[in-house]
């Protein structure tokens, strides 16, 4: 029997249920349902409710596994968090009791009648407080990746990955706003991507049906159109433009929020995803890249930092010092890496001259 069959089945069903939740929250979101966290990033009732849902399912499905989740319930436990807390409990329970679909298992604590009280759901959110580490099994969850995209009604993703001994082995990414067919941008939306180490990468529809094997085609550097963040504060657009110039790339970059960029790359769009640091000392988080890495590797691509080294998922909640991320098809990764290193050297040279 293939490895991680139960985890994969769980991941697809949990992300499907979480996407239904976030999608319905978007349509109902009102003022005062968003907070600004200490690092100035937004978090909505949707982020918290989706983490409560997935962590409570994980607790029942894999009780011994650790979880590294983006959110924690500290602000919600305060008196000032009462309004948001009540709304989150309501939304999480709506998602928990929604009818069972093919692939769901009532043993995960979902389905009609499975409501939970506030204390259990806040504890479920805080199951994501694990510090990470080098050994054993741990899941990492970004309940809404690209919260800014979510608030704009653009791209965002629900991301769940299983990491074993510091290596991501399963990646599930739900993209409720991503067109099913890239050639029909105004057509049906909502995809779930699943990849398991050594077993390939697949795109499903938003119901978790109609799996389609996906892969990155062989392309030349001239055909690249870089995938990059919408937010210039998250990755340097200017640096990417210099890399594009080095490679004689003529096509404009495609900007979108969240790990939807990894998904697009994995199904053959863009050819490369560049995420170079902006120089503010930000440390990338494991939940922002674990699922994307499995997906891209299983669709025939390569993910590295700007030194050409693998990302290290064993350092804790972050990937450590930020050397940037280059994800690309096999046929172009080494060329993009070389161009990044040349652009870096030029930048360092210019800085040295400016200081001379």
Ligand X SMILES: Nc1ncnc2c1ncn2[C@@H]1O[C@H](COP(=O)(O)O)[C@@H](O)[C@H]1OP(=O)(O)O
Residue with tokens 């159109």: 225
Q: Which stretch binds ligand X (CB under 6 A): 115-123, 144-152, 169-177, 209-217?
A: 144-152
Report what 280 binds from ligand X, Mg ion, none; CB cut-off 5-8 Å by kind: ligand X
231 is a site residue for ligand X (CB under 6 A)? yes
144 has binding-site annotation: yes
Determine if residue 142 is labeled as part of a ligand binding site. Answer: yes
Residue 214 labelled as part of a binding site: no
Residue whose tokens read 């077993």: 199
Stretch that binds ligand X, among 99-107, 143-151, 202-210, 324-332 (CB under 6 A): 143-151
CB of 5 to ligand X, least distance (A): 29
Distance CA 19, CA 49 (A): 11
**Taking contact as CB under 6 A, which single stretch among the options 50-58, 167-175, 226-234, 241-249 is the one that binds ligand X?**
226-234
Helix, strand, or coil (residue 127): coil
Q: How many residues does the chain have?
A: 356
Instruction: List the structure tokens of 221.
Output: 């550097």
CA 144, CA 19: separation in Å to the nearest integer? Answer: 9
Residue 161 — left, alpha, or beta (φ > 0 → left; ψ -120 to 50 → alpha)? beta
- In order, the DSSP letters of 164-228 are ETTEEEEEEEEEEEEESSTT-TTS-EEEEEEEETTS-EEEEETTS-S-EEE-PPP--GGG---EE
Residues 62-81 that bind ligand X (CB under 6 A): 70
**Among 297, 294, 275, which Cα is nearest to 284's?**
275
Q: Respond yes or no: is residue 318 known to be catalytic.
A: no
Please calculate the CA angle 332-334-340 and round it to the nearest 5 degrees.
Answer: 100
Closest CA to 63 of 32, 108, 98, 19: 108
Task: State phi, psi for 171 to the nearest 5 degrees.
Answer: -130, 130
- C-beta closer to ligand X: residue 41 or 80: 41
The answer to whether 41 contacts ligand X (rule: CB under 6 A) is yes
Contacts of ligand X in 156-215 (CB under 6 A): none
9-28: which residues touch ligand X (CB under 6 A)?
Answer: none
23 labeled part of a ligand binding site: no
Active-site annotation holder among 147, 196, 221, 278: 147
Closest approach of ligand X to the CB of residue 41, in Å: 3
Of the pair 144, 265, the CB lying nearest Mg ion is at 144
107 binds, among ligand X, Mg ion, none (CB under 5 to 8 A by kind): none
Q: Which is nearer to ligand X, 70 or 298 (CB)?
A: 70
Task: Establish whether 288 is an annotated binding residue.
Answer: yes
| Stretch near ligand X under the rule CB under 6 A, chosen from 83-91, 280-288, 310-318, 337-345 | 280-288
Q: Is 280 in the site for ligand X (CB under 6 A)?
A: yes
Number of residues that bind ligand X (CB under 6 A): 14
Cβ-based nearer residue to ligand X, 75 or 231? 231
Listed residue (11, 100, 119) closest to 58, CA to CA: 11
User: Which tokens go with 141?
Assistant: 């969850």
The burial class, CB within 10 Å (0-12 / 13-18 / 19+), for 272 is: buried
Tokens coding 9: 């089945």
Which of positions 234-263 make contact with ligand X (CB under 6 A)?
234, 257-258
| Candidate list 23, 126, 145, 297; residue touching ligand X; CB under 6 A | 145
Select which of 22, 23, 44, 47 is catalytic: 47
| Cα 27 to chain centroid, rounded | 21
CB of 254 to ligand X, least distance (A): 12
Q: What are the tokens at 170?
A: 């399963």
Q: Is 147 a catalytic residue?
A: yes
DSSP 130: -
Residues that bind Mg ion in the complex, under the rule CB under 5 A = 41, 70, 142, 144-145, 147, 288
**Per CB under 6 A, does 126 bind ligand X?**
no
Chain centroid, CA 354 distance in Å: 38
Annotated catalytic sites, by residue?
47, 147
Binding residue ranges for Mg(2+): 70, 142, 144-145, 288
Contact set with ligand X (CB under 6 A): 41, 70, 145-147, 229, 231, 233-234, 257-258, 280, 282, 288
């Amino acid at each position: 029997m293939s490895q991680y069959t139960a985890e994969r089945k769980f991941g697809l069903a949990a992300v499907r249920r979480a996407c239904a939740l976030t999608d319905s929250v978007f349509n109902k979101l009102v003022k005062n349902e968003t907070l600004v966290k200490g690092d100035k990033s937004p978090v909505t009732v949707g982020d918290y409710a989706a983490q409560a849902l997935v962590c409570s399912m994980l607790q029942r499905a894999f009780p011994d596994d650790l979880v590294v989740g983006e959110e924690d319930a500290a602000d919600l436990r305060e008196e000032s968090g009462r309004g948001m807390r009540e709304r989150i409990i309501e939304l999480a329970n709506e998602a928990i009791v929604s009818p069972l679909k093919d692939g769901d298992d009532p043993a995960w604590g979902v389905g009609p009648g499975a409501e939970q009280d506030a204390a259990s759901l806040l504890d479920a959110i805080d199951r994501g407080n694990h510090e990470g580490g080098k050994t054993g099994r741990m899941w990492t969850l970004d309940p809404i990746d690209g919260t800014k995209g979510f608030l704009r009604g653009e791209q965002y993703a629900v991301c769940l990955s299983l990491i074993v001994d510091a290596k991501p082995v399963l990646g599930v990414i739900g993209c409720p706003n991503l067109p099913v067919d890239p050639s029909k941008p105004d057509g049906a939306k909502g995809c779930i991507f699943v990849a398991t180490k050594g077993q390939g990468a697949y795109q499903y529809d938003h119901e978790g049906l109609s799996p389609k094997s996906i892969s990155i085609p062989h392309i030349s550097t001239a055909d690249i159109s870089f995938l990059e963040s919408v937010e210039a504060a998250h990755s340097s657009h200017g640096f990417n433009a210099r890399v594009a110039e080095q490679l004689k790339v003529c096509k404009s970059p495609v900007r979108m929020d969240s790990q939807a960029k990894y998904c697009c790359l994995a199904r053959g769009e863009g050819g490369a995803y560049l995420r170079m640091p902006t120089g503010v000392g930000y440390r990338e988080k494991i939940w922002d890249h674990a699922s994307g890495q499995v997906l891209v590797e299983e669709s025939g691509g390569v993910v590295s930092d700007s030194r050409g080294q693998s990302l290290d998922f064993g350092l804790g909640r972050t990937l450590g010092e930020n050397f940037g991320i280059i994800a690309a098809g096999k046929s172009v990764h080494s060329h993009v890496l070389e161009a990044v290193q040349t652009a870096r050297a030029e930048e360092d040279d210019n800085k040295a001259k400016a200081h001379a």
